[in-house]
Amino acid sequence: MSVLLVAEHNNKELKPFTLNAVTAASQMNTDLHAVIIGNNCGDAAKKLSELPLVKKVIQVEAAYYENFVAENFAPVIVKLAENYSHVVCSANTFGKNLMPRIAASLDTSQVSDIIKVISADTFLRPIYAGNAFATVKSKDPKKCITIRPTSFDPCESSGGSAPIEKAEPSEEFNNTKFVKREEIKSDRPELGTARVVVSGGRGMQSGDNFKLITSVADKLNAAIGASRAAVDAGYISNDHQVGQTGKVVVPDLYIAIGISGAIQHLAGMKESKVIVAINKDGEAPIFSVADYGLEADLFEAVPQFIEELNKLNTIQK
Amino acid sequence: MKILVAVKRVIDYNVQVRVKEDNTGVVTENVKMSTNPPDDNAIEEAVKIKESGKATEVVAVSVGEEKAQETVRKALAVGADRGILIKADGILEPLAVSKLLQKIVEKEKPDLVFMGKQAIDDDCNQTGQMLSALLNWPQATFASKIEIKDKKLEVTREIDEGLETIEINIPAIVTCDLRLNEPRYASLPNIMKAKKKPIEQINASDLGVDTSPRIEQIKVEEPPKRKAGIKVKSVAELVQKLKNEAKVI
């Protein structure tokens, strides 16, 4: 049987992580179909049909699918799942909210947040915030899998022409009503998906000093992160927190400034491709994971760092 | 209104987790255990609602081995009225836990069920959503703000794009984000008082739920170690390395 991918979109366009999820799903079975549920989502459905790895698109539309309420989405997918061996989507807030509702209805034990497909029923997934990797084999006849998008490359986005079939919507779930969505509008990339993250810790000493972090982030078009200690000290709001109890980030470049490297912080960033640490304590645990460590007073080193970056004149966009 | 709060006993978030040498799991012997952090937020919110006069009873429930009683007791020490421990040994998958909780919901008939959005041990992020599917109740996941409006809740959810607000009819499930509130510490007098609060013990096997794992854990390994890095002498050297060696700026 084939794999059913649940597409994430905004009714006009596919969300970028849908492409990463298609790559992961295609590794479970190349006979890959994708379902798109929305309202007037024809444009997004067309884009889905153009992904060469997708063999068929199933489009389901109703006014009450406009805002992706899981209680409305799940019954549609549960019904379609009769014909599929796997249901797959991204382990972001969309998929985390939706997939367990599908899995419980199918009486399937879901495998969450996989980082590798070993075979059609065996997967690698991080546990304890990445402090251990578990190899798990699903014994359920139908498998519900969420994938960590940053662990899979995005698939080709053009050249395909899969047929688009329409399927019937399910009844509306009346006990949940969408009210509003406030998207954080920032010129900066999102912390979870940024190519570069610059983080500050307790060593920043004050919220005001975080403007040094902001300056570095501006230069590198980076997202701003923080350790739990900096958040607890009130230097910055907790939506910037990187770590086991905050966000897990996997950027190409992670710059830790004035961060000692508590276990719970390391858990949130140690899979980054390149790690830089600037800290005046040469014994700080952050140096054990840093590719490039600079033992220096951050209040001297960071302004110099900004100056050097200015010289390079390479603002990354 | 009655609020049921599910709490899980996990390895404390400050402990460096170590993989067992035989690769069957992680070391839990002689390791500090605590309440799963966002479950503390769930208890705090329920207690605050009771203190505001909008709830009459807060019941804390945990599923796990005998020692999970400590986790229930801690919930009692910060304001829950009574506790339930569903005793079960071995690996419990979220599907099994949600089926056990469903039985407790059927018996206790709460108006709301709160729990943390995710446990920091298996990182599954499933139980709340699964329970709401089994009950066919509305779900508000990753809640950072809850307002009670008569027989409805208005919940602000933390989503990747920012914030989402939904309105759900009671009865409902809410899974709590760390941003929901600041959990209180238990005072010594309240810890003493909690010792007198009742904890009902139920064997999972008496609830008629098959809790046997559906996922075979083949092995648990250390994540690949990072290659040892270098210390640079100056900012100039750092920038040069980042540009020419790592090629990331």
CA distance A119 to A27: 8
d(CA B21, CA B219) in angstroms, rounded, equals 11
Residue B138 near residue A176, CB atoms below 8 Å: yes
In this complex, the residue of B124, B142, B166 whose CB is nearest that of residue A179 is B166
What does the pLDDT read at residue A317?
A: 42
Biggest CA–CA distance in chain A, Å, is 64
Mean pLDDT per 10-residue segment, chain B (249 residues): 98 92 95 96 98 98 97 98 96 97 98 96 97 98 95 94 94 94 95 97 96 97 86 95 92
Phi, psi (degrees; rounded to nearest 5) at A170: -95, 175
Q: Cα separation of B30 and B13, whole Å?
A: 15
d(CA A20, CA A117): 13
Q: Where are the alpha helices (DSSP H) in A171-297?
A: 210-220, 228-232, 263-269
Q: Do B166 and A104 touch (CB under 8 A)?
A: no
For residue range B107-131, list pLDDT tens digits in order: 999 999 999 999 999 999 999 999 9
Domains of chain A by start residue, with CATH: 2-162 (3.40.50.620), 196-312 (3.40.50.1220)
- Kindly list the structural domains of chain B, giving each domain's residue range(s) and its CATH number in brackets, ordered by start: 2-245 (3.40.50.620)
Record: contact A100-B127, CB cut-off 8 A: yes
For the stretch B198-235, pLDDT in tens is 999 999 999 999 999 999 999 999 988 877 799 999 99
Amino acid sitting at position B111: D
From the CA of A163, how many Å to the nearest CA of chain B? 31
List, for residues A195-235, the tens digit of each pLDDT value. 999 999 999 999 999 999 999 999 999 999 999 999 988 89
Taking an 8 Å cut-off on Cβ atoms, the answer to whether B214 and A108 are in contact is: yes
| Low-confidence residues of chain A: pLDDT under 70 | 313-317
Contacts of residue B128 in chain A, CB cutoff 8 Å?
A: 100
Angle at A153 between CA A1 and CA B159, to 5 degrees: 90
- Using a 10 angstrom Cβ sphere, with 0-12 exposed, 13-18 middle and 19 or more buried, the burial of residue A76 is buried
Residue B240 pLDDT: 94
Q: What's the residue count for chain A? A: 317
Extended strands (E) in chain A: 2-6, 32-38, 56-61, 84-90, 111-114, 116-117, 122-127, 132-138, 143-147, 164-166, 176-183, 196-200, 223-226, 253-257, 274-279, 292-295
How does DSSP assign A9-74, residue by residue? B-SSSB-THHHHHHHHHHHH-S-EEEEEEESS-HHHHHHHHT-TT--EEEEEE-GGGTT--HHHHH
Across the A:B interface, residue pairs with CB atoms under 8 Å apart total 257
Contact at CB, B223 and A129, closer than 8 angstroms: no
Tell me, yes or no, if the pTM score tops 0.80: yes
CB contacts, 8 Å: B11 with chain A? 128
- Give B212's contacts in chain A (Cβ within 8 Å): none
